[in-house]
Structure 1
């Protein structure tokens, strides 16, 4: 009797291919089945970018799968194991020694002027809306109440785990991933005597939602994590904490603020 079905995804680096080959051998020896199409556990080998790709490949099965990350470079926020720890990883996975961990996701809905229903996406890190050639003008609503009229390059909406990604580079706050909330950060907003926005990131609770209504135009660019979503004549976007969550297998707890310090500050 097998212990479970595992899919393994890796990036194109030689070290990741070598780790994938070794891990495949170890898992088979431990009575796991390698199944790239219908797994129960998904293991990504590489970095956080590889993990994002693995997540989106299986985001339609989140209630039935768990994820695990192996990094072959710098420590990531989703990749807990190193490529020289594969024997320990398989042992821990077999014994299920670590408590279950799950983090919130972002529910993104995009409505264009030709659709009767919006299209829905899940984001692990963030979603952004920008305009290709001109200043973006958008009315921002919180729980269906107008909050501000935004003018600038765009808006970024992120999960707590995504707060250390693009959100941080545009001046957003870093949120602990156990906080069940999401964040709105402005991208180069225009603030002067004529135009005014809050100018600060906003933390929005899981009981609230955000809607962004756009001026009529055909040059908007929407991204979901690393992927670009093509839409013509976007009318509005809405954001909230998703009902689904991302679940991790054999997750090794490392103090979140230690990860942040290691990634951005280093040794003092």
Structure 2
């Protein structure tokens, strides 16, 4: 039987580097193979850092199908499952098959402009907003049904795992990861005699597609799209379609994992 191949992804903090070295020692003693880079032959990704490092890892590995175990050396660590002192315990659980797999469904946006169609993918969220202090004027269409002429700073679409991130800061709802739902949250919506924009988030089935169509001055303006801490600028956008992606990210969870306990300890 070939040895299990592990790719270690780490940020540059002193604690993360020390944890990576210790993990190499633990894995080597258990006859695991350490991969120098990620490819499809890797059996397991060990991600050392915080939530930001996890998101960077997923994007740099191009939405890997390989299971990921998170080791928290950061702050909140919603995605991370271990702390550095639990490395040997984890390896024993892994060898025994004593874990579960949490499936994370990203979202993707198809941006149509004069140059064609561009695609971005978010694990936590995708935010569409005006550049600098410019407002975004967008028609919001759910499948084929227009639901709002929106004007404000922007619109954020988040996944259940992303509900605890920027979405929560904007006043959005916390969503259990078991729910197959997406969330539409307004960013500084206008409420005047001319515009009556929705002010609370909308939870909707993940099978539905949201289309954002640019209106009035926004048609010729630049738009900023932010996703998982990354940003891209687009000009002359006509529409943006946001939907659940077909990809799945597989996150390992150990015995005793309790989402509600983690939520209470870290956020509430």
Q: What TM-score does the superposition give when structure 2 sets the normalisation length?
A: 0.92
**What aligned pairs does 1:26-37 form with structure 2 within 5 A after superposition?**
26-35=26-35, 36-37=37-38
**What aligned pairs does 1:99-110 form with structure 2 within 5 A after superposition?**
99-110=100-111
Q: 1:242 aligns with which of 218, 241, 245?
A: 245
Q: Tell me, which stretches of 5 or more residues in structure 1 are unaligned?
A: none
Alpha-carbon deviation of 1:252? 4.7
Equivalents in 2 of 1:142, 1:73: separation in Å? Answer: 37
Equivalents in 1 of 2:6, 2:194: separation in Å? Answer: 57
Q: What TM-score does the superposition give when structure 1 sets the normalisation length?
A: 0.92
User: Paired residues, what number?
Assistant: 261
**What aligned pairs does 1:222-233 form with structure 2 within 5 A after superposition?**
222-233=225-236
Once the two structures are superposed, what CA deviation does each residue of 1:128-149 show, in whole Å capped at 9, x if it has no partner? 0111131110110000221101
Q: Is the 8 A contact 2:186 2:198 kept in 1?
A: no
Alpha-carbon distance change, 249 to 259 in structure 1, aligned in 2, over 3 angstroms: closer
Q: Is the 8 A contact 1:217 1:234 kept in 2?
A: yes
SS class of match (1:156): strand
Equivalents in 2 of 1:134, 1:8: separation in Å? Answer: 42
Q: Is the 8 A contact 1:104 1:177 kept in 2?
A: no
Structure 1 counterpart of 2:99: 98
Alpha-carbon distance change, 252 to 211 in structure 1, aligned in 2, over 3 angstroms: farther
Q: Is the 8 A contact 2:98 2:255 kept in 1?
A: no
Alpha-carbon deviation of 1:203? 0.8
Q: Is the 8 A contact 2:51 2:74 kept in 1?
A: no
Alpha-carbon deviation of 1:86? 0.8
Structure 2 counterpart of 1:140: 140
Alpha-carbon deviation of 1:251? 4.0
Structure 2 counterpart of 1:180: 180
Q: Tell me, which stretches of 5 or more residues in structure 2 are unaligned?
A: none
Structure 2 counterpart of 1:58: 61
Q: Is the 8 A contact 2:72 2:81 kept in 1?
A: yes
SS class of match (2:238): strand
**What aligned pairs does 1:29-178 form with structure 2 within 5 A after superposition?**
29-35=29-35, 36-38=37-39, 39-62=42-65, 65-115=66-116, 118-132=117-131, 133-178=133-178
